[in-house]
Each structure stands twice: as C-alpha cells, then as structure tokens.
Structure 1
Amino acid sequence: MVELSKDDLFTLEEYSEKRSSFRSGVLDEKKNRGVMVGNHVHLIFENKNTIQYQVQEMLRIEKIFEAKDIQEELDAYNPLIPDGKNLKATMLIEYVDVEIRREELTKLKGIERNVWFKVGDTEKVYGIADEDLEREDDTKTSAVHFMRFEFNETQIAKFKNGSGVVLGIDHNYYDVPPTTLHHDIVNALASDFS
C-alpha cells in the first residue's frame, strides 16, 4: 500500500504558505474522482493526494504538531488510500433537507452493501463498506460510508483500457439506472491501479 508518512506532510508553517495552491490542485484532481449514481448518492474516489489534503486540513484546524498525534491521524486516514488492486471511495447520501434526509436514510438501509462496479463483460465488483466501524443501526443507514472495491487482474486490465466502466446500486428503494463513467473519470481512477 502507498501510505502517507510524516515525511510526506508539510509542517503547519509550510502548509500555511502552500495551502492555497495545494488545495487548488487537489480540488482540480477531485473533479474527475466523483461519480453520482442517481440524484442522491455521490461517490468520491480517494487517492494519496486527496487523503493528504484531508490530513493536512485536520492538522491545520486542530493545530496538531506532536509526532504521536500526527501518526494517529495518518493511522486513521491511510486505510482510505487505494493499494494498487482496489479503489476506495467515500460514499455520501445527499439530501439538502434534514428531515427528508432522515426519512430517506431509513428507506435506504443496507444500500452500502449493494454498490457495484462492472468493467466490460466481467462480473460485478461489490463494494466492501465501513470496515472501520458499523455505520448502520437497526432503523437507518448513515449518510456517509467508506467503500473498498477489490478488482482482479482481468478487471484491472479492462479498466485501464477503458472497457465500459459502469457504477450501479442494487437496492429496492433506490432504483436508479447505473452510471457509465466518463473516460476522464475512468482514466483518473485507472491511475490508482499499479
């Protein structure tokens, strides 16, 4: 796995000076790392740069500079970086109105176990959700989930060749057509494979 280490990070002072340009670069990169499936499910695919940005922001906001505290942040965020054979995403269930979101999350229970990729004519790759902790309770799912999609060699090769990559969700309540990924997004995500 390509993990971030303390040596990869800017000091708080360096980050203060470089934040604007670093942030701008990461936000540009993220434009080709997000996919909507229907109107309410947004998957943001993480990589080393997007995670470094999140860590740097956390260190800045919390004014963290002690080595052990920095390592705790790295230990929390490093599992979100793809390892060369998978893609990792933050899945957001988005409803603007808080009351509507609360109602919809009860109807969407289990959705996180039914998100999939299909690459060309290969089998679906279902995401593995929330390995860090359970984000669903007896009545509803969470609005945020962390996903990992494991691909075999054939699927990775076809993904890199741009063989019709589709992202979908099999859920009785959230019945929306799958999303075919634009070639810019496919290319960006393919770079996560080693």
Structure 2
Amino acid sequence: MNTGSIGMGKITIDSLLSLEAYHKARPEMRQRAIAERKLRTVHLGEHLTLIFENEFLMRYQIQEMLRVEKTFEEEGIQDELDAYNPMVPGGSDFKVTMMIEYPNEADRKIALSKLVGVEDRIFIEVEGQPRVYVLADEDLERTTSEKTSAVHFLRIPVSVAMKEALKAGAQMMVGCDHKGYPMHVETLPHETLASLVTDLS
C-alpha cells in the first residue's frame, strides 16, 4: 500500500492504509504533513491565511479522521473520501483552504461582517498572464448578506498558458482586492512556488 505519493488522481479506498498500518506510518506522515502545510501556506497580512492543499495533505487528513473516529467500515471510509477528495487539485487548478483569523472573538465578529464577499476577491496573477479570481465554496454557500464565514474552500483555475509560464519559472502574485482588506504577496518563496507547480499536470 502506498503512504501517499503525490498524484493527480483522487484518493481511493484501496490506496489508504489500514488503521494498524497507519498507526506505524503516522509519525513520519505527520511530520511531512506539518512541513508541507507550512511550505504551502501563504499569509495575506495578519488575518488571511491560504493553505494550498494537495493530494498528500488530504490523504493525511483522511487517515487522521479515520484514526480518530476508529472507522474501518467501507461506508464510513467512503464518506471521508467524499468530503476530502474535492480538495485534491485536478491538474489544472489549485485548491485552497482560506481562513480568516482574529484571536479576539469580538474583533472576528466585526471583521466577518465587514468582509462579506472577501472569498470571491482572492486572486493569483502569474507573471505575464491575466489575473485570475478564485471560485469560492462551490459545494456550499458559506456567506450571508450580514457576514462571511471564517473558513472557505477555493478553487483557482489555471490555464495552459499559466501552467507553461509557471513551469518555465514565472513568479506568481497572490492577493486579495476586497475593499475592506486589500493585500497581496508580490513574490512567493521559491520552495513554495516549486511545491505548488507540482499540482499542475
């Protein structure tokens, strides 16, 4: 069984480790997941965090859920796969978990009401290519007219031209142009960008 090579395919039941096998593999997988998540996290200012998910991170998440819930029936395993597989990049997109973070709950409440629609104003801009905005929460609406949610799931389509530019070494800007939170990161660390490019087949 494989412990999670990064692939473009969806995660399947027969590619997962049994609870017993995962127990043995867990320390190593956990260490790798922590390092990979850190590498693939982009902070837009102090309050917006974007985690670019990949196959391995979703595989780790599924294995953790199965471990915590002691799930070994096929139906339960399939439920977890159905929940996390949509966040595995498909080869021509990035999949991102976006979090709006304020340590103080009162501040967070105010921010969430001021930042309605912020999830639709996240973009990437590959050097020499047009800016592309995310498609937010395709599975479920997470915003009301009064407030946005603290967590959103984003998909960022990546065109063939963008892929080719990135693979040839182009830089990529990541940003937000919501009027209540204008913020961008002009250049990503080389290691981060290299990791993100592996999502593109």
What TM-score do you get using the length of structure 1 for normalisation? 0.96
Q: 1:160 aligns with which of 159, 167, 178?
A: 167
Secondary structure of 1:180's aligned partner: coil
**Amino acid across the alignment from 1:171:** H
What does residue 55 of structure 1 align with? 62
**Amino acid across the alignment from 1:192:** D
What does residue 119 of structure 1 align with? 126
Secondary structure of 2:182's aligned partner: coil
What does residue 32 of structure 1 align with? 39
What TM-score do you get using the length of structure 2 for normalisation? 0.93
Q: Are 1:166 and 1:180, in contact at CA under 8 Å, matched by a contact in 2?
A: yes
- Is 1:79 aligned with 2:101? no
What does residue 181 of structure 2 align with? 174
Deviations 1:153-172 (A, max 9, x none): 11011112231210011111
Q: CA deviation at 1:18?
A: 1.5
Please identify, of 47-56 and 12-21, the stretch whose mean Cα deviation from structure 2 is larger: 12-21
Q: 1:68 aligns with which of 68, 75, 95?
A: 75
Q: Hey, what's the Cα distance between the residues in 2 that align with 1:177 and 1:14?
A: 42
Q: CA deviation at 1:146?
A: 0.4
Q: CA deviation at 1:5?
A: 0.4
Please identify, of 11-20 and 139-148, the stretch whose mean Cα deviation from structure 2 is larger: 11-20
Q: Hey, what's the Cα distance between the residues in 1 that align with 2:49 and 2:186?
A: 11
Q: Hey, what's the Cα distance between the residues in 1 that align with 2:45 and 2:141?
A: 24
How large is the RMSD of aligned CA atoms in angstroms? 1.1
Q: Hey, what's the Cα distance between the residues in 1 that align with 2:166 and 2:46?
A: 25
What does residue 97 of structure 2 align with? 90
Deviations 1:168-190 (A, max 9, x none): 11111112244421111110000
Q: CA deviation at 1:29?
A: 1.7
**Amino acid across the alignment from 1:47:** N
What does residue 103 of structure 1 align with? 110
Q: CA deviation at 1:28?
A: 1.5
What does residue 25 of structure 2 align with? 18
